[in-house]
Chain A
Amino acid sequence: MHFPVASPNLRNPTHECGHVSVSAFSLFPGALSATGSSPAMVSIHIRGLTKRFGDVVALDGIDLDIESGELFFLLGPSGCGKTTLLRAIAGFHKPDEGTIKFGDEDITKVPPYKRETAMMFQSYALWPHLNVQKNVAFGLEERSIPRAEVKRRVEQALAMVKMEGLGSRKIHELSGGQQQRVALARALVVRPRCLMLDEPLSNLDAKLRIEMRTEIRRICKEFGLTAIYVTHDQKEALSIADRMAILVDGNVAQVGTPEELYRKPKSELIAGFVGETNLIEGEIVFISGANVYVRTPVGEMVGRAVDEKWKPTIGEKATVSVRPECLSIHETPQAQNTIAGLLTESVYLGEIAQYSLMADGSIIPIRISELNPRRVLRNTEQTFYTSSSPEDVVILPSN
């Protein structure tokens, strides 16, 4: 069972601001003003945060600033420390070094039950001995809110996640998607200073995941919540994040908006982790304005250096990163970024065609995605040529 997203105009996350905040206030009058103030959302400032488990350094001096009202993503491969960082902010891990501040308040030593954050756990952690209504009411009862208001706010919260009328259900009677909604309601109802989401969608099927991520963004924006969202799914992050940090081996590798991280990765690692890319090593031979020319085994490539801190010099080793969808495929040699080779694989997926092109002198095929393919190239005898605009090619310092 799954729930349709209520309003079609919510499907596109880039449109949320105008329509939704208005509808939220009209749908739930007083939702934000029950205590006479909007939720006490905070900015979060992390300095030099280090956490060791035995000999393993899980967090290695993390510095990070998350702005108030921001939907911030922690993204990274498993074991990179993203969940550890989230749990440290929630107070479940005591850091060995460093500080965490909510606004101006240093909360490094504050126990979890006094931090007024609300976490949505990967396993949802809904209490099976309490029904939906009691699960959601729990945090309010702990805050000694009067019973009538608890009842009202629980109903609002359930309505917000489209679970109205299901308050008396047992947890095990709910589907995965419904449990996820209850977990979200339980976290939201207390109006946390910071909402924390630990891989909240990993137990859902693909279709529901896309629906729910849009919902989560809608709700965060309605309430202007500061939210930290942990995931290893880059699509999830790219689609709804305001900003995101990529963690690698307990370090922050890069922070930025989804476009920045996708278009301007600062290292091979980031380029390879966010989205798919072709990495070709070579040597810088010429620089002309913004264009940097790199000689590689598969031919000369031209692109842009995106990291302002790096000044490329002629003769320096560099890596060319070009995404499959930035390459087009042709039967004749092209002016720029043309790589010649034979097709080793052609996959037709309807909206795109994927090709693997093996260039002379290379052992790794170049991947090409062609959007809206009018025909599929399958001739493995013929030489084909790529082409790309220099704006779409990123030149990275070689590691």
Chain B
Amino acid sequence: MNRALSITVYFLTGVFFLLFLAYPIWHTLKEAFLTSDGNLTFAYFLEIFRNPIYREGLVNSFFMGLFTTLLCILIAIPLALIYNTWNFPGKGILNSLVIVPLILPPFVGALGIRQILGQSGALNSLLIDLGLMDSSTPVDWLGQGQLFGIVVMNALHLFPIAYLNVSAALANLDPALDEAAENLGCHGIRRFFRITLPLIMPGLFAGSTIIFIWAFTELGVPLIFDFGRVTSVQIFSGIKDLSGNPFPYALVIVMLLFTGGFYLLGKRFFGKNMELGGGRATSSSQVSDATGGMGILCTGIFVLVILVALLPHAGVVLLSISDTWYATVLPSSFTTQHYADALGHPLTLLSIGNSLKYASLATCLDLVLGVAIAWVVVRSKLPGRQILDTVAMMPLAIPGLVLAFGYLAMTREGQPFDFLIRSEDPMLILVIAYGVRRLPYVVRSAAAGFQQTSVSLEEAARNLGCPPWKSLFKISLPLISANLIAGALLAFSFAMLEVSDSLILAEQQQHFPITKAIYALVSSLGDGPNLASALGVWSMAFLAITIVGAGIMLGRKLGSLFRV
């Protein structure tokens, strides 16, 4: 049944992945392991490990990933436990607000945090005003621990991924498992470490993997913090050199090996798929009302975390409306001039238009591919459908930089795909790059939809004389439209804020997307940072609306979008 259609879809999507997922990686491999005259060499690869600068970069990247992940877990677990144990004032709205930091670009937020934590920033000014710091010897929070600042920034951005995963894992747990421990005398923190934590490990691992890979390969935040001693920035700086330099490619391969290795290692130790034995869960989870002080405490913790996570972005908003902000807690004078200037600046308007164009085309591509793949994976009985699913989810585990590099290499002049950058316009390749990177969100949400929609609904339509492809359009797609919209919104918002591909593939000003425009403005003199903030605020407001919308539409299932 539908076998021919399934095989066709399988084949076409397979070719797509070969061309735009496997081939770019292969191309990067080639550049890293072949000399200019085509001989195999490990010299570049080994040089990475010999060169102390590259080594330091790798170590720093590793710590950036590790500490970000740990910090995310530390923030997320208490929040998720509170959410699953108590009812407290404002629970619903706070639960959706918690995911807002995820969508606000950390790259933009970093602008704000510089303003807050810098030597003449808001925090120091506050401490001086309070008499806790000597104004002649301000602490340079970022200078002394730039990596620390980056980790905090990353964690405040990425902790919602851990929160969503842990929270979903807790919700899926049979409450009797905790009760059985309680019944046998195990209570409180002890019960959490002996029973609850091991049981939510798979969910925690799924979230942590994405966070680790994301942070390990993060490019935007270290760039804004001007911290060059991490691998991602070293790769990015490498392409400014002459095109013949093989080291960035070799670095990319090393990075890919590391992420793959961490992923497999983690999967081996924590990702064991534990099937719950016995029957279904029989008691519903016991969420009790937190009364009085306890309720206020729960609400307070949520509000505090959200406020701190939004602090960098609040800094951006202030920066965008500040006239002068130097060595004071708040800007000393305000202006709306930057918004006017931003709109007047040729770079900003153009970049907004470009980003909208690239991101919406990429979203369309994702919808077509995502629905087709999800349909084959959920509905068909093809033997290799799980492989297709795994491949479609791989972009979550492959650093954006790696792919961006592959695309750059395969579209060079003279390469078979150079037509994708026609007369210096990177539109086609950027649409494909964004599309591949954000495809997992659409595949996951469409698959979730198909799984919830009984196949007999389609069968009933077919039974009444409707051909398979038509029943898909008339029955299933309308039923899963909420999932599709949510997945598409996520794909779109993340595409709008894509950093790696945008920075690497868009080379001329008239083709810059928003992120590259912000990057260009930040590094320009004068009121550049203010203009960048104004542009950032515009995009943040826009994205906050989309993520809250997606959250409302998907509810708790939102967490499943961030699982490998």
A and B held together in a complex: yes
Report whether B180 and A119 are in contact in the complex, using a CB–CB cutoff of 8 Å. yes
The interface bits of chain B over 117-141 (1 if a CB of A lies within 8 angstroms of the residue's CB, else 0) are 0000000000000000000000000
Q: Across the interface, which residues of A come within 8 angstroms of B283, CB to CB?
A: 83, 87
A375 at the interface (CB under 8 A from B): no
Report whether A118 and B184 are in contact in the complex, using a CB–CB cutoff of 8 Å. yes
**Residues 274-289 of B contacting A (Cβ, < 8 Å):** 274-283, 286
Report whether A129 and B278 are in contact in the complex, using a CB–CB cutoff of 8 Å. no
The interface bits of chain A over 103-145 (1 if a CB of B lies within 8 angstroms of the residue's CB, else 0) are 0000000011111111101111111111000000011001100
The interface bits of chain B over 192-210 (1 if a CB of A lies within 8 angstroms of the residue's CB, else 0) are 0011001101000000000
- Write the nearest CB–CB distance from B297 to chain A, whole angstroms: 20
Report whether A123 and B280 are in contact in the complex, using a CB–CB cutoff of 8 Å. yes
Number of interface residues of B (CB under 8 A): 28
Q: Which residue of B lies closest to A172 (CB)?
A: B275
Report whether A121 and B277 are in contact in the complex, using a CB–CB cutoff of 8 Å. no
Q: Across the interface, which residues of A come within 8 angstroms of B181, CB to CB?
A: 127, 138
Q: Across the interface, which residues of B come within 8 angstroms of A130, CB to CB?
A: 198
B177 at the interface (CB under 8 A from A): yes
Give complex CA distance A202, B410 in Å. Answer: 61
Q: Across the interface, which residues of A come within 8 angstroms of B184, CB to CB?
A: 113, 118, 138-139, 142, 186, 190
- Write the nearest CB–CB distance from B64 to chain A, whole angstroms: 31
B182 at the interface (CB under 8 A from A): yes
Report whether A121 and B187 are in contact in the complex, using a CB–CB cutoff of 8 Å. no
The interface bits of chain A over 155-195 (1 if a CB of B lies within 8 angstroms of the residue's CB, else 0) are 00000000000000001101010011001001000100000
Report whether B282 and A171 are in contact in the complex, using a CB–CB cutoff of 8 Å. no
- Write the nearest CB–CB distance from A252 to chain B, whole angstroms: 22
Number of interface residues of A (CB under 8 A): 41
Give complex CA distance A203, B279 in Å. Answer: 6
**Residues 484-508 of B contacting A (Cβ, < 8 Å):** none
Q: Across the interface, which residues of A come within 8 angstroms of B198, CB to CB?
A: 127, 129-130
Report whether A138 and B278 are in contact in the complex, using a CB–CB cutoff of 8 Å. no
| A92-B179, A92-B286, A123-B174 known; A128 vs B275 contact (CB < 8 Å) | yes
- Write the nearest CB–CB distance from A318 to chain B, whole angstroms: 41
| A129-B274, A172-B275 known; A142 vs B176 contact (CB < 8 Å) | no
| A113-B187, A143-B185 known; A128 vs B276 contact (CB < 8 Å) | yes
Give complex CA distance A75, B282 in Å. Answer: 17
Give complex CA distance A360, B279 in Å. Answer: 49
The interface bits of chain A over 44-87 (1 if a CB of B lies within 8 angstroms of the residue's CB, else 0) are 00000000000000000000000000000000000000010001
B479 at the interface (CB under 8 A from A): no
Report whether B185 and A122 are in contact in the complex, using a CB–CB cutoff of 8 Å. no
B186 at the interface (CB under 8 A from A): yes
Give complex CA distance A82, B280 in Å. Answer: 19
Q: Across the interface, which residues of B come within 8 angstroms of A126, CB to CB?
A: 180, 277-278
Give complex CA distance A202, B182 in Å. Answer: 23
Give complex CA distance A202, B282 in Å. Answer: 11
Report whether A113 and B199 are in contact in the complex, using a CB–CB cutoff of 8 Å. no
**Residues 290-314 of A contacting B (Cβ, < 8 Å):** none
Report whether A121 and B176 are in contact in the complex, using a CB–CB cutoff of 8 Å. yes
Report whether B278 and A123 are in contact in the complex, using a CB–CB cutoff of 8 Å. yes
- Write the nearest CB–CB distance from A204 to chain B, whole angstroms: 9
Q: Across the interface, which residues of A come within 8 angstroms of B176, CB to CB?
A: 121-123, 125
Q: Which residue of B lies closest to A120 (CB)?
A: B180
Which of B183, B274, B282, B286 meets A123, CB within 8 Å? B282
Q: Identify which of A87, A114, A123, A130 gathers the most chain B CB atoms within 10 Å of its CB.
A: A123
- Write the nearest CB–CB distance from A130 to chain B, whole angstroms: 8
Give complex CA distance A142, B276 in Å. Answer: 23
Give complex CA distance A91, B184 in Å. Answer: 12
Q: Across the interface, which residues of A come within 8 angstroms of B199, CB to CB?
A: 127-129
Give complex CA distance A360, B208 in Å. Answer: 75
- Write the nearest CB–CB distance from B28 to chain A, whole angstroms: 39
Q: Which residue of B lies closest to A202 (CB)?
A: B279
A90 at the interface (CB under 8 A from B): yes
Give complex CA distance A121, B282 in Å. Answer: 8
Report whether A119 and B280 are in contact in the complex, using a CB–CB cutoff of 8 Å. no
Report whether B183 and A124 are in contact in the complex, using a CB–CB cutoff of 8 Å. no
Give complex CA distance A87, B282 in Å. Answer: 12
Give complex CA distance A116, B184 in Å. Answer: 7
Give complex CA distance A122, B174 in Å. Answer: 11
Report whether A112 and B182 are in contact in the complex, using a CB–CB cutoff of 8 Å. yes
Report whether B179 and A179 are in contact in the complex, using a CB–CB cutoff of 8 Å. no
Give complex CA distance A117, B182 in Å. Answer: 10
Q: Across the interface, which residues of A come within 8 angstroms of B277, CB to CB?
A: 124, 126, 128, 171-172, 174, 179
The interface bits of chain B over 242-283 (1 if a CB of A lies within 8 angstroms of the residue's CB, else 0) are 000000000000000000000000000000001111111111
- Write the nearest CB–CB distance from B201 to chain A, whole angstroms: 7
The interface bits of chain B over 159-187 (1 if a CB of A lies within 8 angstroms of the residue's CB, else 0) are 00000000000000010110111111111
Q: Across the interface, which residues of B come within 8 angstroms of A87, CB to CB?
A: 283
**Residues 364-379 of A contacting B (Cβ, < 8 Å):** none
- Write the nearest CB–CB distance from A93 to chain B, whole angstroms: 9
- Write the nearest CB–CB distance from A153 to chain B, whole angstroms: 13
Give complex CA distance A288, B186 in Å. Answer: 63
Report whether B179 and A112 are in contact in the complex, using a CB–CB cutoff of 8 Å. yes
Q: Which residue of B lies closest to A112 (CB)?
A: B182
Report whether B280 and A127 are in contact in the complex, using a CB–CB cutoff of 8 Å. no
| A119-B180, A125-B177 known; A142 vs B279 contact (CB < 8 Å) | no
Give complex CA distance A171, B277 in Å. Answer: 6
Q: Across the interface, which residues of A come within 8 angstroms of B276, CB to CB?
A: 128, 172
Q: Identify which of B201, B275, B276 gathers the most chain A CB atoms within 10 Å of its CB.
A: B276
Report whether B186 and A142 are in contact in the complex, using a CB–CB cutoff of 8 Å. yes
Which of A116, A123, A202 meets B281, CB within 8 Å? A123
Report whether A121 and B180 are in contact in the complex, using a CB–CB cutoff of 8 Å. yes
- Write the nearest CB–CB distance from B202 to chain A, whole angstroms: 10
Q: Across the interface, which residues of B come within 8 angstroms of A139, CB to CB?
A: 184-185
- Write the nearest CB–CB distance from A127 to chain B, whole angstroms: 6
**Residues 190-228 of B contacting A (Cβ, < 8 Å):** 194-195, 198-199, 201
Q: Across the interface, which residues of B come within 8 angstroms of A113, CB to CB?
A: 182-187
Q: Across the interface, which residues of A come within 8 angstroms of B177, CB to CB?
A: 125, 127
Report whether A203 and B186 are in contact in the complex, using a CB–CB cutoff of 8 Å. no
Q: Across the interface, which residues of B come within 8 angstroms of A128, CB to CB?
A: 199, 274-277
Q: Which residue of B lies closest to A113 (CB)?
A: B187
Give complex CA distance A190, B195 in Å. Answer: 18
**Residues 338-394 of B contacting A (Cβ, < 8 Å):** none
Report whether A125 and B187 are in contact in the complex, using a CB–CB cutoff of 8 Å. no
- Write the nearest CB–CB distance from A89 to chain B, whole angstroms: 11
Q: Which residue of B lies closest to A183 (CB)?
A: B278
Q: Across the interface, which residues of A come within 8 angstroms of B182, CB to CB?
A: 91-92, 111-113
Q: Which residue of B lies closest to A176 (CB)?
A: B278
Q: Which residue of B lies closest to A190 (CB)?
A: B184
Give complex CA distance A91, B180 in Å. Answer: 12
Q: Across the interface, which residues of B come within 8 angstroms of A117, CB to CB?
A: 183
Give complex CA distance A335, B179 in Å. Answer: 60
Give complex CA distance A124, B183 in Å. Answer: 13
Q: Across the interface, which residues of B come within 8 angstroms of A112, CB to CB?
A: 179, 182-183
Q: Which residue of A lies closest to B195 (CB)?
A: A127
Give complex CA distance A204, B279 in Å. Answer: 9
The interface bits of chain A over 90-102 (1 if a CB of B lies within 8 angstroms of the residue's CB, else 0) are 1110000000000
Q: Which residue of B lies closest to A129 (CB)?
A: B198
- Write the nearest CB–CB distance from B205 to chain A, whole angstroms: 13
- 9 new A-B contacts, CB < 8 A, other than A128-B274, A179-B277, are A91-B183, A111-B187, A115-B183, A123-B176, A124-B277, A125-B180, A172-B277, A198-B282, A203-B279
Show 20 residue pairs from A and B whose CB-CB distance is below 8 angstroms, ordered by the A residue.
Answer: A111-B187, A112-B179, A119-B180, A119-B183, A121-B180, A123-B280, A124-B277, A124-B279, A125-B180, A126-B180, A127-B198, A129-B198, A139-B184, A172-B276, A176-B279, A180-B278, A186-B184, A190-B184, A199-B282, A202-B279
Interface residues of B (CB under 8 A from A): 174, 176-177, 179-187, 194-195, 198-199, 201, 274-283, 286
Interface residues of A (CB under 8 A from B): 83, 87, 90-92, 111-119, 121-130, 138-139, 142-143, 171-172, 174, 176, 179-180, 183, 186, 190, 198-199, 202-203
4 closest cross-chain pairs (CB), A and B: A139-B184, A125-B176, A124-B278, A203-B279
